[in-house]
Structure 1
Amino acid sequence: IEGYVGDGIGKLVHRVITNDRDQEAAPDLWEKGFVFYMKYYRDHLSDFTRPYSETEAGLALLKSLGIPLVVITNKNEILAAELLKQLGLADYFSLILGGDSLPEKKPSPLPLQHAAEVLGIDPANMIMVGDSRNDIIAAKAAGCLSVGVTFGYGDMTLLSQDKATKPDWIIGSLPEIYENLQPKKA
């Protein structure tokens, strides 16, 4: 299942039913699977989900700089917001955008452009941190700096081999972003 994650719950359900990344299940079977998955997932959101190591420390460091933080996920917005709340991370974020928040989701640049507009900043002054192909492509298309993480679902070593999915930076923990934003001492 891990290899099927990244394009939203609807696609995940198609992939699990067909056991193929590109096939679509019959509409009636997909609908049953989708309804079942949504109910189960909603009821068990944080049963087996934990933040990656040093996530909260990294978020706190970035927040201390006065940087607005945004979650842009292909997960449904209501589930993403509830999961962040259950994990005790929701208060770090100024905005949470899900795959159903706008007409397009990652890899479209629209969610990043929307976040920039809401926050009143130029996308060139944003950093998109992610673990997937969709994250890097969306960042590049929006004109943001792309930061790939070595933890998560994506394989940054593999993604870095393709110009289209090579991030500008690769980090092993969120505090590294804070360290990279600090003025260099001569």
Structure 2
Amino acid sequence: MLKNIQAVAFDLDGTLVDSIPDLAASANAMRVELGLAELPRETVQSYVGDGINALVHRALSGDYHGKVNANLLERGFPVFMRHYAHHIANATRPYPETEAGLGLLKTLHLPLAVVTNKSEMLAVKLLKELNLLDYFSIVVGGDTLPERKPSPEPLWYVAEILGVAPENMLMVGDSHNDLLAAKAAGCLSVGVTFGYGNMAQLACDDATRPDLIVNKLPEIYENLRPSQPKD
């Protein structure tokens, strides 16, 4: 199934790195500055995946589907961005074996990409601070194009830039947005079990069932490397 893969795209938060500690810290710094009580880290984690605008809106309302007046949003957004930009890698770390997995894939001479709903500027900054940026040929953020995941547009864009057909590109992620985008783009998909999404639950739905599920990134290499000739 994976023998024709010519490029691999990765989600960022929840797939390559665990960024919840710093996202939660910035969300709570914003709330405290605006006179609001802090939120539990697990609550902030449930708000992640649809970009910074959505995260700030949800963190201000304290509800995934909550409403926030424009004035509060206008005051809160720059506070969050200022704090997060300065503390983006305080506690954020790559998941175990992330670098090993990326390094193994590079030995197959496959171009690697990041396709995230995080803003491009913040994604690049985070990857650079964690010494991961050089693994990737391109980084596409949630504001790079008019549409973001679950739209297929970011994956089609990456495939075009890398000169591969979408069906020959793999999308690796932890959330419904990643898997929906992959299916809509015609890419094969890999779901990771260690991220923020419930991969067992996602795998039960035809719309979000990944083609492969892994517990660590080096397993992708094991599935992509050429078969060894038998004696």
Relative to the length of structure 2, the TM-score reads 0.79
RMSD between superposed Cα atoms in Å: 0.9
Q: Which moved more, 1:4-13 or 1:19-28?
A: 19-28
Residue in structure 2 matching 1:182, options 225, 228, 231: 225
Residue-by-residue CA offset, 1:75-122 (whole Å, 9 max, x unaligned): 010110010000000000000010000000000000000000111110
* 2:116–2:142 contact (8 Å) kept in structure 1: yes
* Structure 1 position 22, deviation (Å): 2.1
Q: Amino acid of the residue matched to residue 72 of structure 1? A: V
Q: Amino acid of the residue matched to residue 79 of structure 1? A: L
> Aligned equivalents of 1:167 and 1:88: distance in 2?
28
Q: How does 1:28-177 map to 2 (within 5 A)?
A: 28-177=71-220
* Length, aligned pairs only: 186
* 2:150–2:177 contact (8 Å) kept in structure 1: yes
Q: Which moved more, 1:129-138 or 1:176-185?
A: 176-185
Relative to the length of structure 1, the TM-score reads 0.97
> Aligned equivalents of 1:139 and 1:27: distance in 2?
34
* 2:108–2:225 contact (8 Å) kept in structure 1: no
> Aligned equivalents of 2:67 and 2:190: distance in 1?
32
* 2:97–2:217 contact (8 Å) kept in structure 1: yes
Residue 68 (structure 2) pairs with residue 25 (structure 1): yes
* Structure 1 position 184, deviation (Å): 3.4
> Aligned equivalents of 1:24 and 1:91: distance in 2?
40
Unaligned runs of 5+ in 2: 1-43
> Aligned equivalents of 1:95 and 1:183: distance in 2?
25
> Aligned equivalents of 1:183 and 1:83: distance in 2?
32
* Structure 1 position 72, deviation (Å): 0.5
Unaligned runs of 5+ in 1: none
Higher relative CO (Cα under 8 Å, sequence separation at least 6) belongs to 2
